[in-house]
Structure 1
């Protein structure tokens, strides 16, 4: 959680970019980052991306290459989102065959732009894909904690117990073990989903659940975009009041950015749907406050 040159004292937590490269560059400039030797950076600052770099927007290729350069240089870190998870699930078995990999990538219509952007150098796209597989599904540090969708203490503990930190071979195998504890934990943390299992099917090995997204944060100070309105309020064991602040994305909120609890803040304010890309500027030890959002 530190910059390659100097320790980070301030963290700029950036919401779901969803391929909106122009919005990303505008926000980085607003935050005071400058491009040096091909990398956006700012002394004593670390950009923290909450996932969903790809899909929906027009230039996911530029977003991916920009964020990777920042992470590799130590000026950024990230967690993967559900859109990265879906891509990895679709294409991970095909990285040894370029054409099969491109076909698997294009299973989601938004990812055609990725194959188009790298049609003359598909191995670069595969390299970005493999790099994404090594990025964490959660960050749990003394200064801050970050997930894409839901900080669920039980789910995080399940992942920690089994050493699942990313979507490498072990992590993806766990996710593909449908309805296992690890699958449910990853689905909760990365996609913000809960599963309801009808009692009449509980002993049927082929059962299916009712899957739905949950509104888990403690205080309802922001509205979810009607486009993403299929969210059910659910009480879970979330972040403790005296713990490090939790930052998340995923939920496409609207209105003026605000904190969602004493130590909880969402940073996805519908950049994918015409809204602004926002960040929260967090200084270690400082209480969360709405004035620290940057748009």
Structure 2
């Protein structure tokens, strides 16, 4: 177990606008397609920037399940270092960070694909480059803030978080907050081994600030009590979605495939309910 890097700032100024992107899960091709659709283009250093100075923000879960976890890690390593993008903590990100740190974790639910990608990367590029990339990825994931507060004139006008957040938790740095932000409101495990998720958004009593979240896929973006879910299950054959703030616009690109290889997915289960 190595030294954990300090968390990056959980405050982002709205500035010229923020583009928040839902769960990518290694769907790198769709991610790049969405960036172009949003108006981002690479510069000579391969850093994607927007001509209007807009900012890019990921809801996490950039790895696992899909085909290109390493490409996604490399993208955010470069872009966070260049202050061109940010990303919040997430459940898969937390699992991969602990695995990279040498902790005893069980890689399942698509996380094992990350291990296989690193094994192939080492075969192609050698142990030294593989270890360097692992350490950079570990630092990226461990330093991601639990949630991001988007401010306008010093007021928190929006919050980006992976799985959800209670209003009393906004701006708070504590283990219970980190856990809620990664997993949402979980009330145990069901007979099928899946977590029982309570609808924290349904219980919300206020509508501001806007909370943009992912983690729990829906076929279409879902608005509820001042929240919007933008995980449309790209890795399961759905869509990859971005929420544009302050325009209140939703922009999506369709998945090229159901990369998970599963027939029974969160999307099919949601539509069956």
TM > 0.5 between the two?
yes
Choose 1 or 2 for highest CA Rg. Answer: 1
Unaligned runs of 5+ in 2: 1-10, 151-155, 253-273
Deviations 1:208-252 (A, max 9, x none): xx962222223xxxxxxxxxxxxxxxx3xx4732x2211101011
In structure 1, what is the equivalent of residue 73 of structure 2? 64
Q: Which residue of 2 aligns with 1:39?
A: 47
Once superposed, which parts of structure 1, at least 4 consecutive aligned residues long, lie more than 6 Å away?
none
Residue in structure 2 matching 1:92, options 101, 114, 123: 101
Please give the per-residue CA displacement for 1:48-87, whole angstroms capped at 9, x wherever unaligned. Answer: 1001000000001111111222222222111021101112
5 Å-filtered alignment, 1:216-231, equals 216-218=200-202
* Number of residue-to-residue matches in the alignment: 223
Contact 2:146–2:177 (Cα < 8 Å) also in 1: no
Counterpart CA distance in 1 for 2:106 and 2:56 is 27
Q: Which residue of 2 aligns with 1:173?
A: none
Unpaired runs of 5+ residues, structure 1, are: 95-102, 165-181, 198-209, 219-234
Partner of 1:110: 113
Does structure 1 residue 124 correspond to structure 2 residue 81? no
Matching residue within 2, 11, 15 for 1:8: 15
Structure with higher helix content? 1
Q: Distance in 2 between matches of 1:239 and 1:247?
A: 16
Q: Indicate the structure with greater strand content.
A: 2
The partner residue of 1:248 within 213, 216, 225 is: 213
CA offset at residue 140 of structure 1? 2.3
- Over the aligned positions, Cα root-mean-square deviation in angstroms equals 2.7
TM-score normalised by structure 2 residue count: 0.72
| 1:116 CA displacement | 2.9
